[in-house]
Structure 1
């Protein structure tokens, strides 16, 4: 019996010894979506015994491109280093003329996604997407949009909406706010015509009746959200603000496979699935070659719309 217990203990200790240690960079300030994603990964990897130790660091600035540059330059060949990013980073790389790009990291997986929502103050005379489109067509500059950083998902969505209804995207009157709270205050105060962001940013105000939800950017109606899609409102646009994890440049196929295996275990774990449910994040897990192909498509499409908007030459 004693030999059996010692053997079992040896297996457990060996498993713990082999568990990878990770350092995850959130290229943003604490509290935001990327930081929340990194810290949720930290919890799941450790609680599920996938990793023995996970550290999270924050390197904010320039839509994630400052952190990305540091990661590319300092993490080369190190399989313990990961970085969280997302669709906002794709636009930031282009608009900031970043010296580094996502081609220089090792994409691992898309993890979560959130659809965009367009809202107006409850007191607005705009009640449908069709009303908003009519105003936009009549005078693009008269429709002011409140959203996040210039070149980010919100800005891109506004440009796509304009383009889809035949309005020159460079004519849109987009007002970029550094934080969701500032944008929300401007919308609620009727300082702008409409607001655009991830649905969760507006959920409590929509439920309270202070904001009117005109539409969401999904292909089909979302469960639990009483709103038409953009397409139902006559605007042929579908877009999702996704978040991903990438590994360091210069990894061997074996090292990349090991990281992929750990992330797949994390995504399928009870801890991660509970986090998604608690935070209202959609599980959009996509890994390997499929994710790399989707990433390439998103980068190409984003480049086109940012040129249309006039943010990229």
Structure 2
């Protein structure tokens, strides 16, 4: 079997805030030419849009950013609002036309795929990239009572019985959906066969997937390790495999997909976007603000608690990464039959 490696660098896959002069000094721009101390004026307040329902990884990320910014005194307020729908593309459409420059929206690999599978009119290219923050492996889980003891058991059943096996996760075309397709591709199915056999139940937030699994209304689930870890630890769910190269910190006993015989390594990324028509100075202020947050001890604790890897990028490097990621995801979605 050929190896499929998907990382944060490739993927083989509310809105009112006040501005004020708040010169808190230069932050960690992460290589950004836009975030020079002379240009950057940090906002006094921001509002964070989570383009998904509560309970998932984007919601966790948005609220972690908000709490870090306020606890460290980097802003006076950082309120969070959830605008779910269509893999984040509903929130994306609103952000692209948002007039307030001090608006940040959580984004990530899920949105890259959802833009393609939903044929969204508004694309991530219509916004202003601010920063990539984290990457995280995914985990395939089953209810505690499931007959599947290994990842191979699950994938064999999908290959043999197709639509009778249900796999739930995040939005259609997002990271979870792509991983399900890649596992079937690695098992020898082509794009047409994957489309025929894969019965994927998308959700707008991680809480919905958990409810389906705990109610025995889905055969298996895929999401970030941070979303399922507590249910694995409680014994309500069992982890079949994680998608990282090495065991995940939050689920150290779960085997990797490579360990289970699947040549798939896959990490999800998350970051922040701003409205598309902000000025370079306004962008510099936001980049500097998030750079300071990324250097704080509070944020370091957030990463450790959630099992997230620091994947900080801003400026030209993040712009280039995002362009490459979009192209990679387009190719991957075509290969596994999720788009034409």
Normalising TM by the smaller chain, what interval? 0.7 to 0.9
How far apart, in 1, do the equivalents of 2:215 and 2:77 lie?
46
The root-mean-square deviation of aligned C-alpha atoms, in Å, is: 2.8
How far apart, in 1, do the equivalents of 2:166 and 2:130 lie?
37
State the Cα distance separating 1:83 from its structure 2 match: 1.9
Of 274-283 and 239-248, deviating more is 274-283
- 2:304 counterpart of 1:281: no
How far apart, in 1, do the equivalents of 2:22 and 2:236 lie?
57
- 2:198 counterpart of 1:170: no
State the Cα distance separating 1:162 from its structure 2 match: 0.9
Paired residue for 2:122, among 68, 92, 100? Answer: 100
How far apart, in 2, do the equivalents of 1:244 and 1:306 lie?
21
Paired residue for 1:44, among 68, 71, 78? Answer: 68
How far apart, in 2, do the equivalents of 1:19 and 1:211 lie?
44
Number of corresponding residues? 299
- 2:271 counterpart of 1:244: yes
How far apart, in 1, do the equivalents of 2:281 and 2:205 lie?
40
Judging changes above 3 Å, is the alpha-carbon distance between structure 1 residues 189 and 56 closer, same or farther for their aligned structure 2 residues? closer
Of 33-42 and 80-89, deviating more is 33-42
Unaligned runs of 5+ in 1: 1-12
Alignment TM-score, normalising by the size of structure 1:
0.82
Q: Which of the pair is proportionally richer in helix? A: 1
Paired residue for 2:113, among 91, 106, 109? Answer: 91
Of 290-299 and 13-22, deviating more is 13-22
Determine if contact 1:116/1:198 at 8 Å carries over to the other structure.
Answer: yes
Judging changes above 3 Å, is the alpha-carbon distance between structure 1 residues 26 and 174 closer, same or farther for their aligned structure 2 residues? closer
1:5 aligns to what? none
1:20 aligns to what? 43
Report the secondary structure of 2:265's partner residue: coil
1:295-306 aligned at under 5 Å gives the runs 295-306=322-333
How far apart, in 1, do the equivalents of 2:73 and 2:144 lie?
48
State the Cα distance separating 1:104 from its structure 2 match: 1.2
> Deviations for 1:157-176, whole angstroms, at most 9, x for unmatched residues?
10111112211321312223
How far apart, in 2, do the equivalents of 1:301 and 1:194 lie?
26
State the Cα distance separating 1:144 from its structure 2 match: 2.6
How far apart, in 1, do the equivalents of 2:160 and 2:235 lie?
28
Determine if contact 1:72/1:249 at 8 Å carries over to the other structure.
Answer: yes
1:233 aligns to what? 260
Report the secondary structure of 1:69's partner residue: helix
Structure of greater relative contact order (alpha carbons < 8 Å, 6+ residues apart) = 2
Alignment TM-score, normalising by the size of structure 2:
0.76
1:218 aligns to what? 244
How far apart, in 2, do the equivalents of 1:179 and 1:251 lie?
29
Report the secondary structure of 2:139's partner residue: strand
Of 93-102 and 30-39, deviating more is 30-39
